[in-house]
Amino acid sequence: MKKNEVPQDQASTYAGQHKLMYAVDEKGDYTGVPSSGWEVESNATRDALNAINRDRLSAWERAKHGETSPLEFHMYDRRMDLSLLAQTVGLFQWRVRRHLRPAIFAELSDSLLERYCEALGLSREQLQSLPETPPSE
């Protein structure tokens, strides 16, 4: 991309900030160019955040009805997915998936709970409970 082709769409997802992008200048050298955003990127970001929010609300509802553990809600609330949470706590995905079952989650050892607390930035009390009302965003 040439320096004068760097998007400057004033993207709302940038919140007035700029992102450094690299482009080719007049001499053919790469140089850093501030970008105020690209509408296509903003739309993709908004779509991804909407999907995460839907998963989060769905997990809250299912946890409220005892169909999943609070761990699933907190995972989505921290904008994580199963793969990222598993990597962060150092477990296989199948083990984390098991911990989403309420009966299994209720029996987790203190050390496993502590790993989840650290990964999610929550206290044990917060990890083992849900907010009273569905989260908004």
Please, which pLDDT band fits residue 137 given cuts at 50, 70 and 90?
low
Q: Which pLDDT tens digit goes with each residue over 25-47?
A: 888 889 888 887 788 888 888 89
In the chain, the percentage of residues whose pLDDT exceeds 70 is 99
CA separation for the pair 114, 122 (Å, rounded): 9
Q: Which pLDDT tens digit goes with each residue over 78-94?
A: 999 999 999 999 999 99
Tell me the whole-structure pTM to 2 decimals.
0.77
Better-scored residue on pLDDT, 14 or 96: 96
What's the pLDDT score for residue 8?
A: 81
- Whole-angstrom CA distances from 45 to 24, 52, 57, 76 are 26, 11, 18, 16
Side chain identity at residue 101, one-letter code: R
Tell me: pLDDT of 124 over 80: yes
Torsion of CA 104, 107, 112, 118, to 10 degrees: 90
What's the pLDDT score for residue 14?
A: 73
Domains in the chain: boundaries: 3-37, 66-127
Q: What is the CATH number of domain 66-127?
A: 1.10.260.40
What's the pLDDT score for residue 58?
A: 95
The set of residues, in sequence order, having a beta carbon less than 8 Å from that of 117 and lying 6+ positions away, is 123, 124, 127
Question: How many C-beta atoms surround the C-beta of residue 26 within 10 A?
Answer: 9
Q: What's the chain's average pLDDT?
A: 90
